[in-house]
Amino acid sequence: MTRAPRDSKNGFVAAYGDLVMEHFQNPRNAGELPDPDGEASKSNPVCGDRMRVMIRVEDGRIAEVRWQTRGCPPAIATSSFASEMVTGWTLDQVDALTREAIAEGIGGLPRDKVHCSVLAADVLRAAVADFRTKARTPGDQGSP
């Protein structure tokens, strides 16, 4: 077995795949979504890193996603990757989203970093749940 090289500048083991590094270095959909239809934020129970997700829903599908993540490189990369992955999905598809699907989709994560994909899956599902709650409360959401 070969040892993964260390990034001397950032101090983390450079064992990530190309897609992870690409999304980490060029994150998509980062930022704030004004007046979101649903939003949620959570901390990773393993490390305390934090993610906030805001979604716009049109015709029962995710039309837009924005996220803000304070975390490690895989947390940033999976936030970016998942935001692209679910755009266009139905809400039921997001309900079924798993961290494994994100980790596999992005080309795999080192075993000790698989927990980093938990945030993106959990917070996206929670943002959909928030949308559904607001949609059931007339007046909070505009016309259903």
- State which of residues 62, 116, 124, 127 lies at the interface with ligand FES (CB under 6 A): 116
Whether 47 is catalytic: yes
Q: Does position 77 bind ligand FES by CB under 6 A?
A: no
Question: Contacts from 49-52 at CB under 8 Å and sequence distance 24+?
Answer: 49/75, 49/116, 49/119, 50/119, 51/75, 51/79, 51/119, 51/120, 51/123, 52/123
Whether 116 is catalytic: yes
Catalytic residue from among 33, 62, 109, 116: 116
Q: Does position 21 bind ligand FES by CB under 6 A?
A: no
Complex with ligand FES: residue 44 or 57, whichever CB lies closer: 44
- 80 phi and psi angles, rounded to 5 deg: -65, -50
Residues found near ligand FES in the complex (CB under 6 A): 44, 47, 49, 71-72, 74-75, 113, 116, 119
